[in-house]
Structure 1
Amino acid sequence: MNTPDSWRKSSYSGAGDGNSCLEISDRRTHIAIRDSKAPAYGTLTVPTEAFAPFIECLKAKEL
Structure 2
Amino acid sequence: MADKKKIGATIKVKQIASPIRRNKVQQLYLKSLGLGKINRIRELQDTPAVRGLITRLQHMVSVVE
Q: Same fold (TM over 0.5)?
A: no
**Going by fraction, where is strand more abundant, 1 or 2?**
1
TM-score, with structure 2 as normaliser: 0.23
Of structures 1 and 2, the one scoring higher in RCO (CA 8 A, sep 6+) is 2
TM-score, with structure 1 as normaliser: 0.24
